[in-house]
A and B are shown apart, each in its own frame.
Chain A
């Protein structure tokens, strides 16, 4: 096999030589020079960042100060047009998570400054004003916001289960990016195909299905898939300012209860039940102790799935294919295998690389497990230390600041 590979490699290398002489034309033929076209200038990257900052500020102002859903829709339309259809969904903050991860864990990759800013600026905005990025700037959010015509409420239990998917998605996406295996989020971005008007047909179908579902169950991608939404969720919980359902004092009129399609309005506790709740407060200590147990448990589980996860990496897959051919005699026929035989690389080199990548997966996977365990554990713990509410207020983590609830509140302030 090695010899065969060597010969093929030879034939490739010597293919570069001039087999047929360069013709000598008599009719005054001039050799055409191929004109290669260049990309757009680097100035545009800064333009993108400037537009991001401006739209974030505009959204915050529109939601927190003006309290105008109408204005928010205009901003969404602009973001969809600019970041979506004009910039074709690239660069986006959702995908920048992977650039970040790759840059942090790989010495030879340096993150472009614009990608770094696209990762950080929306998070700073979340710390200041809540999820304003989701509300009006993210093109993926905007396309769903603008197509969510009806509101069908999802049962709370289903919502909770589905809402845990993004955590897993984020964990895996960071792991795959950190090991240089795959940019999962970009690969399975449902709407980028619609923005670019070209994509594998499976992704077009997936994107269209999500949009159709989104007409009734609003923002399905944001709620049940978006990995960047997890970070936004966490950061927004600690935001300095956040959108409120009511512009002044809440009258507990219950009119906004059905106003939120995402079930992100936390209900006020009726005065009668406030005392009872205080008395029957569950013991929170066991749940606090459960957090490290869950983290450790998930770490063990993920550590054991690391070999399976490493199959996502192309080099690992190739090495497995070659090994299968060597040991079991199953012919390696994939394009990667054919190219490998032609490239003149030795099998030992390949297997060495496979070992390295597998080791990185074993190192990284437990951390993903710890993250998932912590998320689940803290989520459970939070249920036991629930604050007694006297007002209707948005759940800062899950609220997209979409301003849909404003019209349900009868309290108005006149300018």
Chain B
């Protein structure tokens, strides 16, 4: 009986050691295999404003609530229109800046008078939820100076961006971390 016990005991030990080696091998091997690949370090996610179709998915797809995607205004492109299509809702009954006439559902666009007839539009980022309604309207009827960007002070830099997966036009791309924003510039 004692003999049998020893036998089964040593068998058990053998299985243990084998299992340990079997499990340790891939764990050691994984870094070696994966380090051969190009390191993704030094890249962050950003929206290419020229590919973006302002489909509104940025607002809901991001793991952050509200989304880390915010609207921003490229001032050199902006027309400073009095009748800004990004600021005023289409089909508004009266023409004034009352809340019901504004397009932005969160009231994140701040309108400031500069001089006749120009108005400056800035985005209050803490209110913006990246719904892209204004971006679409500005693109369709205005200069297209309003555009979406992933704000890197908010972005948690998921290794596989939820917006990139949801984006139907593949506009969310990896950009070098040294230059994490894709500004819209005035084309001459």
Binding site for B on A (CB under 8 A): 11-12, 15-23, 25-27, 29, 31-34, 36-39, 42, 88, 90, 98-100, 102-104, 107, 109-113, 115-116, 119-120, 123-124, 127, 177, 180-183, 186-187, 196, 198-200, 234-235, 237-238, 240, 314, 318, 335-340, 342-343, 345, 387
- Taking a contact as CB atoms under 8 Å apart, the answer to whether B144 and A336 are in contact is no
> What chain A residues lie within 8 Å of B144 (beta carbons)?
15-17
- Asked if B99 lies at the interface with its beta carbon under 8 angstroms from chain A, I say no
A12, A22, A36, A104: the one contacting B34 at CB < 8 Å is: A104
- Taking a contact as CB atoms under 8 Å apart, the answer to whether A335 and B76 are in contact is no
Q: Which residues of B in the span 109-131 have a Cβ within 8 Å of any Cβ on A?
A: 114-115, 118, 120, 122
> What chain B residues lie within 8 Å of A318 (beta carbons)?
168
> What chain A residues lie within 8 Å of B149 (beta carbons)?
36
Cα-based distance from A116 to B34 in the complex (angstroms): 9
> What chain A residues lie within 8 Å of B166 (beta carbons)?
314, 336
By beta carbon, the residue of chain A nearest B57 is A335
- Asked if B37 lies at the interface with its beta carbon under 8 angstroms from chain A, I say yes
B171 smallest CB distance to A (angstroms): 9
Cα-based distance from A338 to B27 in the complex (angstroms): 45
Once A116-B34, A335-B168 are accepted as A-B contacts, the answer to whether A343 and B53 lie under 8 Å apart by CB is yes
A115 smallest CB distance to B (angstroms): 6
- Taking a contact as CB atoms under 8 Å apart, the answer to whether A336 and B168 are in contact is yes
Cα-based distance from A345 to B122 in the complex (angstroms): 33
B23, B34, B139: the one contacting A238 at CB < 8 Å is: B23
By beta carbon, the residue of chain B nearest A350 is B168
Cα-based distance from A253 to B115 in the complex (angstroms): 89
- Asked if B143 lies at the interface with its beta carbon under 8 angstroms from chain A, I say yes
Q: Which residues of B in the span 141-181 have a Cβ within 8 Å of any Cβ on A?
A: 141-144, 149, 151-153, 155-160, 162, 165-170, 177, 180-181
- Asked if B44 lies at the interface with its beta carbon under 8 angstroms from chain A, I say yes
By beta carbon, the residue of chain A nearest B16 is A238
> What chain A residues lie within 8 Å of B120 (beta carbons)?
32
- Taking a contact as CB atoms under 8 Å apart, the answer to whether A29 and B40 are in contact is no
Cα-based distance from A26 to B142 in the complex (angstroms): 23
> What chain A residues lie within 8 Å of B160 (beta carbons)?
98-99, 102, 109, 177, 180, 183
Total cross-chain contacts (CB, 8 A): 180
Stretch at the interface among B77-85, B89-97, B100-108: B77-85
- Asked if B98 lies at the interface with its beta carbon under 8 angstroms from chain A, I say no
Cα-based distance from A23 to B116 in the complex (angstroms): 11
> What chain A residues lie within 8 Å of B180 (beta carbons)?
36, 38-39
A102, A123, A187, A340: the one contacting B27 at CB < 8 Å is: A123
Please name the 3 residue pairs, one residue from A and one from B, whose CB atoms are nearest each other, closest first: A20-B79, A37-B153, A339-B55
A88 smallest CB distance to B (angstroms): 7
- Taking a contact as CB atoms under 8 Å apart, the answer to whether A186 and B79 are in contact is no
Cα-based distance from A187 to B162 in the complex (angstroms): 9
Cα-based distance from A340 to B39 in the complex (angstroms): 31
Majority SS at the chain A contact face = loop
A370 smallest CB distance to B (angstroms): 16
Cα-based distance from A342 to B30 in the complex (angstroms): 42
Q: Which residues of B in the span 31-74 have a Cβ within 8 Å of any Cβ on A?
A: 31, 33-35, 37-42, 44, 50, 53, 55-57, 63-66, 72-74
> What chain A residues lie within 8 Å of B177 (beta carbons)?
39, 42
- Taking a contact as CB atoms under 8 Å apart, the answer to whether A198 and B64 are in contact is yes
> What chain A residues lie within 8 Å of B40 (beta carbons)?
109-112
> What chain B residues lie within 8 Å of A112 (beta carbons)?
39-41, 159
Once A36-B151, A110-B34, A339-B57 are accepted as A-B contacts, the answer to whether A42 and B41 lie under 8 Å apart by CB is yes
Cα-based distance from A22 to B186 in the complex (angstroms): 10
Cα-based distance from A343 to B169 in the complex (angstroms): 6
Cα-based distance from A32 to B156 in the complex (angstroms): 27
A18, A39, A339: the one contacting B77 at CB < 8 Å is: A18
> What chain A residues lie within 8 Å of B80 (beta carbons)?
23
Cα-based distance from A338 to B16 in the complex (angstroms): 57
B179 smallest CB distance to A (angstroms): 10
B27, B75, B76, B79: the one contacting A124 at CB < 8 Å is: B27
Once A99-B160, A238-B23 are accepted as A-B contacts, the answer to whether A27 and B114 lie under 8 Å apart by CB is yes
Cα-based distance from A112 to B162 in the complex (angstroms): 17
- Taking a contact as CB atoms under 8 Å apart, the answer to whether A39 and B44 are in contact is yes
> What chain A residues lie within 8 Å of B24 (beta carbons)?
127
Once A18-B77, A318-B168 are accepted as A-B contacts, the answer to whether A25 and B115 lie under 8 Å apart by CB is yes
- Taking a contact as CB atoms under 8 Å apart, the answer to whether B152 and A127 are in contact is no
By beta carbon, the residue of chain A nearest B81 is A20
> What chain A residues lie within 8 Å of B142 (beta carbons)?
19-20
- Taking a contact as CB atoms under 8 Å apart, the answer to whether B19 and A238 are in contact is yes
15 CB < 8 A contacts A-B: A19-B141, A20-B79, A20-B81, A33-B75, A34-B72, A37-B151, A39-B152, A39-B157, A42-B41, A111-B159, A112-B159, A127-B24, A183-B162, A238-B20, A338-B55
